[in-house]
């Protein structure tokens, strides 16, 4: 029986890198490759220029005992960073110690019987190695190890071995470099210590990074936080980045067993799953700080979410034209938060969304901290039968970007996600953000795509002139998804609240029940507005609530089909009372001849309309609080309307001209 030794530490070490590639015409899939190579080279230390300061300033004294300066501080370092306790030492548990400097690797073990060997494995080159232990196929390691260290009670029973190529594979062979001497290995009672010169490793010097794990070869009372059920099929290990003086127990990593059917949640540095073309279930929310590697496996997140840390990379190799035989894929939710505060490309950890930002002036307002959640494994089907691809991006910036920020969005999709949609027909569709990461309550309207923005060979589509906030997906262009609501607004008037909404297409629509939320959070039906049944034209609706009291009121619509199916709209808040400000609204959308604008203060206003390229195509002056803007002369397309009045803040809204 074998026990793996590890403790997860909450300290996280971030690897920083900056990608300066603005306006470089690299296809999105190629960019993924470059990002992954860059990250991996940095993880191996090849692209990092930093101090090589030793992790242990005062080396441990190799005398067979561990010196403590307090209950948690030792000559190796602090508990949880450079040493851990498996079980309780006084009750038969074991303590493991690991630290290093520029010359030696120091290893200590307490609570181990004299006849029990301890074995440690290292991956120091990130190249080919052995995934079985020195005992042979009875032990499976979670990485390809190139160095094995056996820690006995003296130099004779201790050994350093290398993974050596034999032409037919790799075998464990004793090191031809200097072996540990009597002064390097000492034991006393149930404790032992060993120091190994880095020159004895096959790297010849201290590696810039290494992976490692350890276990005891004999079954003793040595409980670990997680004991592998198969006893010899190890999944957990540590990653150490030496130039940053990373704690040796600080970055827990995981490699799934080929026989795994579930994988754990938690926080990990690297996380790898390759189970041989089958589906596994994620057991809890997962946070990855380094690389999430998926091959020949579909990870189903269920109700959980995979969270990529700010500098994490998703290495998925999903099935597309570049990787037609691969099927590494995450079905469910993957989220990442990135700060969008300057010009450049933002890839969100390679999850399939690329943003290219360019400021129009020195006063341009950037979106700031932005949360992007990818949802896969689901498809939105409208009431006319038109479907989306099975990939959605929920984009939630902390700040609404200014109108002069140029945003170009490129969306990548996996080949099976197309759902038989012809690639040449793919176009961007957008919905307002629902309260949760789900498709309940969404309604999509077409945003279009750039004429040169389709690259079927790389499974990407591009769109310029993007307003970020919303849910983004792809569907067949020119076939609008039947959005029950293209707009829903509320405006406080003198003695009532006026609600307005519009639809682009209706199929078997019985009508809308208008509801207001009561103080006890229940919804009260106010009235019913009959729908158009089935229609392929824009329809506009209004409802006047004369019973609204002062304060903040919340409204929603319950759209009912002829067969009784009910779909709820997003909730619209309206402030009612003397201080209530009229809500800015532009309607209808889509529109054909004119737009109505409400929510403006009295006085003069200037209205500018911009096309998708950012070119101003129309200007009109307004002097009324509610006004109409003529748009019949504009060609069909997507436009941005911008209103400037006496105040310092401009109001903007997008609309579709049919």
* CATH number of the domain to which 553 belongs: 2.60.40.10
**The pLDDT of residue 321 is above 70:** no
Claim to verify: residue 345 and residue 474 sit in the same structural domain: yes
- Residues 379/445, Cβ–Cβ less than 8 Å: no
Both structure tokens of 170: 């790799």
- Residues 239/224, Cβ–Cβ less than 8 Å: no
Claim to verify: residue 472 and residue 512 sit in the same structural domain: no
380: domain CATH number is 2.60.220.30
625: domain CATH number is 2.60.40.2550
Residues 345-367 have pLDDT tens digits of 999 999 999 999 999 899 999 99
Q: Which residue has the tokens 């039906």?
A: 525
Claim to verify: residue 242 and residue 306 sit in the same structural domain: yes
User: Does residue 408 lie in a domain region?
Assistant: yes
User: Does residue 322 lie in a domain region?
Assistant: yes
3-state SS class at 386: coil
Claim to verify: residue 502 and residue 445 sit in the same structural domain: no
Give the phi and the psi of residue 550 in degrees, each rounded to 5: -70, 155
User: Does residue 61 lie in a domain region?
Assistant: no
Domain boundary among 332, 363, 385: 332
**The pLDDT of residue 626 is above 60:** no
User: Does residue 434 lie in a domain region?
Assistant: yes
Claim to verify: residue 505 and residue 464 sit in the same structural domain: no
Claim to verify: residue 410 and residue 528 sit in the same structural domain: no
- Exposure string for 109-126, b = 16+ CB within 10 A, e = fewer: bbbbeeebbbbbbbbbbb
Residues 215-248 have pLDDT tens digits of 887 654 333 434 444 456 788 889 898 876 778 8
User: Does residue 132 lie in a domain region?
Assistant: no
CB count within 10 Å of CB 138 equals 11
Segment among 136-140, 181-185, 189-193, 265-269 with least mean pLDDT:
136-140
Q: Which residues contact 655 (CB under 8 A, 6 or more apart)?
A: 586, 589, 590, 591, 595, 638, 639, 641
Rank 12-21, 258-267, 533-542 by mean pLDDT and report only the highest: 258-267
* Average pLDDT along the chain: 80
CB count within 10 Å of CB 461 equals 24
- Report the pLDDT value the prediction gives residue 45, as an integer from 0 to 100: 34
Claim to verify: residue 563 and residue 595 sit in the same structural domain: no
Distances 472 to 319, 353, 444, 487, 501 between C-alpha atoms, Å:
21, 10, 9, 17, 21
Domain boundary among 217, 252, 272: 217
- Report the pLDDT value the prediction gives residue 276, as an integer from 0 to 100: 82
Both structure tokens of 386: 């038109």
User: Does residue 252 lie in a domain region?
Assistant: yes
**What sign for the dihedral angle of Cα 526, 531, 536, 540?**
negative
Claim to verify: residue 496 and residue 613 sit in the same structural domain: no
Claim to verify: residue 400 and residue 467 sit in the same structural domain: yes
Claim to verify: residue 206 and residue 306 sit in the same structural domain: no
- Residues 14/233, Cβ–Cβ less than 8 Å: no
Q: Which residues contact 141 (CB under 8 A, 6 or more apart)?
A: 121, 130, 131, 132, 133, 213, 234, 237
Claim to verify: residue 227 and residue 274 sit in the same structural domain: yes
**Is the bond preceding residue 588 a cis peptide, omega within 30 degrees?**
yes
Residue 21 to residue 5: CA distance in whole angstroms: 42
Residues 547-599 have pLDDT tens digits of 888 888 888 888 888 877 777 777 788 888 754 455 677 777 778 888 888 77
- When divided into structural domains, the chain yields a total of 5
User: Does residue 636 lie in a domain region?
Assistant: yes
Which domain does 235 fall in, by range?
223-332
Domain boundary among 533, 548, 576: 576
User: Does residue 60 lie in a domain region?
Assistant: no
Residue 385 to residue 502: CA distance in whole angstroms: 20
Q: Is the pTM of this model over 0.75?
A: no
Claim to verify: residue 243 and residue 310 sit in the same structural domain: yes
């Amino acid at each position: 029986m074998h026990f793996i030794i590890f403790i997860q530490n909450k300290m996280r070490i971030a690897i920083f890198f900056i990608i300066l590639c603005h306006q470089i015409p690299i296809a999105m899939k190629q960019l993924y490759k470059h990002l992954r190579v860059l990250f991996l080279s940095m993880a191996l230390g090849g692209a990092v220029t930093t101090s090589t300061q030793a992790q242990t300033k005062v080396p441990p004294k190799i005398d067979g005992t561990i010196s403590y300066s307090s209950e948690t501080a030792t000559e190796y370092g602090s508990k949880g960073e450079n040493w851990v306790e498996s079980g309780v030492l006084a009750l038969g548990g074991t303590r493991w110690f690991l630290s290093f400097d520029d010359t030696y690797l120091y290893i200590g073990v307490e609570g181990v019987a004299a006849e029990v060997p301890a074995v440690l494995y290292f991956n120091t080159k990130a190249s080919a190695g052995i995934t079985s232990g020195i005992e042979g196929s009875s032990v499976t390691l979670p990485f390809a190890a190139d160095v094995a260290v056996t820690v006995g009670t003296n130099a004779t029973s201790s050994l350093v071995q290398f993974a050596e190529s034999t032409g037919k594979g790799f075998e464990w062979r004793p090191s031809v470099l200097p072996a540990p001497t009597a002064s390097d290995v000492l034991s006393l009672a149930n404790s032992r210590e060993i120091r190994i010169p880095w020159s004895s490793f096959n790297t010849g010097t201290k590696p810039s990074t290494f992976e490692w794990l350890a276990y005891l070869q004999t079954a003793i009372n040595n409980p670990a936080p997680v004991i592998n059920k198969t006893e010899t099929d190890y999944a957990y290990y540590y990653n150490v980045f030496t130039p940053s003086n990373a704690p040796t127990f600080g970055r827990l990593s995981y490699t799934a067993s080929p026989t795994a059917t579930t994988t754990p949640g938690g926080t990990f540095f690297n996380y790898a799953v390759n189970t041989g073309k089958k589906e596994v279930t994620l057991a809890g929310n997962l946070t990855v700080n380094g690389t999430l590697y998926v091959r020949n496996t579909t990870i189903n997140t269920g109700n959980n979410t995979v969270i990529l840390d700010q500098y994490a990379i998703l290495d998925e190799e999903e099935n597309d034209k570049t990787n037609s035989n691969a099927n590494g894929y995450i079905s469910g939710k993957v989220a990442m938060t990135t700060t969008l505060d300057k010009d450049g490309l933002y890839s969100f950890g390679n999850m399939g969304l690329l943003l290219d930002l360019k400021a129009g002036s020195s006063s341009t307002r950037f979106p700031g901290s932005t949360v992007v959640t990818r949802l896969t494994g689901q498809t939105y089907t409208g009431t006319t039968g038109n479907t989306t691809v099975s990939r959605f991006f929920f984009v939630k910036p902390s700040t609404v970007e200014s109108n002069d920020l140029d945003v170009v969005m490129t969306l990548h999709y996996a080949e099976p996600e197309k759902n038989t949609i012809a690639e040449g027909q793919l176009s961007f569709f957008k919905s307002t953000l629902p309260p949760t990461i789900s498709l309940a309550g969404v309604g999509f309207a077409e945003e279009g795509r750039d004429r040169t923005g389709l690259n079927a060979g790389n499974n990407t589509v591009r769109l310029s002139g993007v307003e970020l906030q919303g849910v983004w997906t792809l569907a067949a262009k020119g076939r609008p998804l039947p959005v029950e609501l293209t707009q829903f607004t509320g405006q406080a008037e003198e003695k009532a609240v006026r609600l307005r909404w519009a639809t682009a297409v209706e199929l078997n629509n019985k009508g809308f029940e208008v509801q207001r939320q009561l103080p006890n959070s229940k919804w009260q039906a106010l009235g019913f507005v009959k729908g158009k049944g089935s229609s392929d034209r824009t329809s506009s609706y209004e409802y006047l609530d004369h019973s609204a009291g002062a304060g903040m009121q919340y409204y929603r619509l319950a759209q009912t089909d002829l067969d009784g199916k009910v779909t709820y709209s997003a909730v619209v808040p309206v402030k009612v009372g003397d201080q209530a400000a009229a809500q800015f609204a532009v309607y209808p959308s889509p529109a054909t001849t004119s737009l109505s604008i409400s929510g403006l203060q009295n006085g003069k206003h200037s209205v500018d309309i911009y096309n998708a390229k950012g070119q101003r195509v129309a200007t009109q002056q307004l002097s009324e609080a509610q006004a109409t803007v003529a748009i019949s002369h504009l060609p069909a397309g997507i436009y941005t309307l911008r209103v400037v009045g006496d105040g310092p803040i401009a109001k903007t809204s997008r609309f579709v001209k049919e």
